[in-house]
Structure 1
Amino acid sequence: MTNSKSLSLVASAALLLALAACGGPEQTPYPRADPERPAPSGAAGSTQSDVRGFTLVGTGDVLPHASIIRLAHTDAGGHGYDFRPMLAGVAPVISRADLAICHMETVYGANGGPFTGFPTFKSPPEVAAGLRATGYDSCSTASNHTLDAGADGIRRTLEALDKAGVKHAGSGRTAAESARPALMRAGGALVAQLAYTYDTNGFPQPEGRPWAVHLIDEQKIIADARAARKAGADVVVVSLHWGTEWQEAPDEQQLTLGHRLTASTTKGRPDIDLILGTHAHIPQAYEKVNGTWIIYGMGDQVAGAMVNPPDVVDPRGNQSSIGRFTFGPPAEPGQRWVVKKAEFVPQWMDVQKGRVVALPEALRRAPGRKDYQVAEKAVRRAVLSRGAAAQGLTMGE
């Protein structure tokens, strides 16, 4: 696990630099509901009534298998790789949000390849441009596959995301970058994203770079969240790559760690405002714990036909959800930003066509399609399996 004390000075300096950088011009490929740049909460000349709320969406694992890479090559007309068409079906949902967060599970290969799928992934760097075109603002990059190509894989991935204008959290090319959260303005808030993974499939951290990828450590996560808050973040989002593959119910680590993280407070204010989970390959439950929403697992957003050991194609591996949360400003400065509305949008990767489908919209257009109905029902059952409906979660479009 990462030693949080030894990186505390680096983290503080990195946060200050990131905050300064966050004041630069926004890069938004799609017009938001209100494209005007807001003042941060508590900014000089603003009152609490001036501060706008915002919507945030989070989505699951982007996991390009060999079949997905071939499809992107075909979609590019045989010249390069184009991931925009396979994500076009959910682009309206993603781009309408003020802030959109994805999970980039794999690392990228060199321009032109070679590229590989399972078990050690090297994806085309063009994935990053496809994510940006879909409307994503930031991605978590901490997963069990982050070290599939060592330090070079991290470097190539973050370079491609930077070039595309997508922020990232969970890994770094330098100690300062690794310690720095993704910081973004949304509505009247400054939002920090942190990201961590349970493991790296046995690959050790690169020599001399114990900070290359963030590993799950309860005390470090809390310390990082508090540092982000102290540096000015109004909302802290934690992305966690955790859980047990192919298990719909959250496991003991998820339940215990989720409870402890959401129970952590500073001067009565929660240190973490939202937890976005990935890794299980299938949709898992949403639940409000200690007043904070946790998505235990969103499922795979982009993946080929998923094989569940022992070598059986499992359709759940192409089902997932989009979490959408509408945050409202606090009643008084320094208080918590509150989730006013919590929603989920079922989605499905149609592996035959190689397209991600936003199921509510797809069912409105084709209400009798059996595969849409089956996928939507399965996602809805998993998402609501721990009583989230009674806690205020609704299905959106």
Structure 2
Amino acid sequence: MLAHTSVTERANADAGGTGYDFLPMFEGVKPLVSGADLAICHMETVYGSDGDHTGIPASKIPPQVADGLAATGYDACSTASNHSLDDGAAGVRRTLDALDLAGVRHAGSARTAQEAYVPTLLRAGNATVAHLAYTYGTDGSPMPQGQPWSVNLIDRDRILADARAARKAGADVVVVSLHWGTEWQEQPDTQQMTLGRELTASRTDGRPDIDLILGTHARVPQAYEKVNGTWVVYGMGDQIAGEMFNRQGLQDSRGNESTLARFTFAPPAHKGDRWKVTKAEFVPQVFDIDAGRVVDVNAALAQGADLAGVRDRIRNVVLSRGAAHDGLMMGQ
């Protein structure tokens, strides 16, 4: 979720002009999200205090968004992004406090050193899932004085060490969220592909250290790819954002297109072996900036909406690195 003034204005209107209600924005995809055993989102921006919010670039969004995420069915969010320190340590604290109050778990930023180094462990059916999150940087905002652990930065060795620690802590499945890539570029860049290969190649006692990588930041949907036997979603796009302008300063509707990544895991036949992905799916979405609503593209098409071009564009990008040959399907 990316905070723009139009987004918060819509939430205010949906609350009748008093406060903010973000749930209506998500209603179109609530069945998909709430139907998952575990639903993970990405929180791009930090929260201000009630009534204290600003737009991009130094962004703060009303804390009521946490209630909207929870009501939609999201269980956890990654909170490591280039905007994580837009309001310093106070912004990190307010964000995590609000998520805690709403019952949404989080990974990627921290209020204490202990919180930074203890993996976020979640339940999904009979599985224990570790969620780890990292960002390429914080757009020049320094780490708060004396708090170098406030936001997790991408570092291959740190990520792998954290993944192994999560496994030792009892994780059956390790999911890593990475805020990476080049904005407005549909194909993964060199850093994404290199890091993706290195992370998915790492094994301990023959078992992969990481079971799934979920990418954000590029502003547009990017490819899915199975790398070294592990699914990598290079970029999901922005589920919620206001009107988006590309590098040329032109309004670009691709910035309001995204995918919901859905993976089904099954337990191993032998204890200690890997939980395997038995079904891999992507669900195309678009944010209707006029209505202020997330739209499930396939569901809307079934009702006669003129979104076939959007669906096809998203599908072509997602499948552009051969994911269909490895079993990726477009879900409903």
How high is the TM-score relative to the length of structure 2? Answer: 0.99
2:39 equivalent to 1:100: yes
2:184 and 2:247 in contact (8 A); partners too: no
Please report the TM-score for the alignment, with normalisation by the length of structure 1: 0.83
What does the per-residue CA deviation read over 1:143-178, in whole Å, with 9 as the maximum and x for residues that have no partner? Answer: 000000000000000000000000000000000111
| Amino acid in structure 2 at the alignment position of 1:384 | L
Q: Deviations over 1:3-56 (max 9, x none)?
A: xxxxxxxxxxxxxxxxxxxxxxxxxxxxxxxxxxxxxxxxxxxxxxxxxxxxxx
* CA distances 1:76-107 after superposition (whole Å, capped 9, x unpaired): 00010000001110000001110000000000
Q: Is structure 2 residue 324 aligned with structure 1 residue 386?
A: no
Structure 1 segments, 4+ long, off by >2 Å, are: none
CA–CA distance in 1 between the matches of 2:184 and 2:119?
A: 30
Q: CA deviation at 1:180?
A: 2.0
Which residue matches 2:278? 340
What SS does the aligned partner of 1:390 have?
Answer: helix
Deviations 1:251-286 (A, max 9, x none): 000000000000000000000000000000000000
Q: Which secondary structure does the structure 1 equivalent of 2:160 belong to?
A: helix
What SS does structure 1 have at the residue aligned with 2:49?
coil
The count of aligned residue pairs is: 332
Aligned counterpart, 1:233: 171
Q: Deviation of residue 319 (structure 1)?
A: 0.3
- Residues 1:315 and 2:250 are matched in the alignment: no
Q: Say if 2:310 is the partner of 1:375.
A: yes
Match of 2:63 among 110, 114, 125: 125
CA distance in structure 2 between the aligned counterparts of 1:132 and 1:252, rounded to whole angstroms = 35
The aligned runs of 1:1-397 (5 Å cut-off) are 62-113=1-52, 115-366=53-304, 369-370=305-306, 372-397=307-332
The superposition leaves residues 42-73 of structure 1 with CA deviations (integer Å, 9 ceiling, x where unpaired) of: xxxxxxxxxxxxxxxxxxxx002001010000
Indicate the SS of the match to 2:28.
coil
How much has 1:392 moved relative to structure 2? Answer: 0.3
Distance 1:353 1:390 in 2: 37
Check conservation: 2:109, 2:152, Cα contact below 8 A: yes
Alpha-carbon displacement from aligned partner over 1:290-348 (angstroms, at most 9, x marks no partner)? 00000000000010010112210011000000000000000100000000000000000
The aligned residue for residue 48 of structure 1 is none
Q: Give the superposition deviation at 1:382.
A: 0.9
- In structure 1, C-alpha distance between the alignment counterparts of 2:249 and 2:299, rounded to whole Å: 32
Structure 1 SS opposite 2:65:
helix
**SS of the residue 2:39 aligns to:** strand
Query: What letter corresponds to residue 42 of structure 2 in structure 1?
Result: H
Deviation at 1:185, TM superposition (A): 1.1
Describe the SS at the equivalent of 2:163: helix
Measured in 1, the distance between the counterparts of 2:270 and 2:125 equals: 16
Structure 2 gap ranges (5+): none
CA drift of 1:246 comes to: 0.2
Q: How many angstroms apart in 2 are the aligned matches of 1:121 and 1:166?
A: 21
Matches of 2:91 and 2:205 in 1, distance apart? 40
Conserved? CA contact 1:106–1:146, under 8 Å: yes
**RMSD (Å) for aligned C-alpha atoms:** 0.6
Deviation at 1:181, TM superposition (A): 2.2
Contact 1:169 1:180 in 2 (8 A): no
CA distance in 2, matches of 1:121, 1:182: 25
Tell me the secondary structure at the aligned position of residue 89 of structure 1. Answer: helix
Q: Which has the higher contact order (CA 8 A, sep 6+)?
A: 1
Structure 1: any 5+ residue segments left out of the alignment? 1-61
The structure having more radius of gyration, on CA atoms, is 1
CA distance in 2, matches of 1:293, 1:196: 17
What's the secondary structure of 1:90's corresponding residue?
helix
User: In the aligned structure 1, how far is the partner of 2:118 from the partner of 2:54?
Assistant: 29
Report the more deviating stretch, 375-384 or 68-77: 375-384
Q: CA contact under 8 A between 1:138 and 1:182: conserved in structure 2?
A: no
Counterpart-to-counterpart distance in 2, 1:375 and 1:319: 8
Paired residue type of 1:79: T
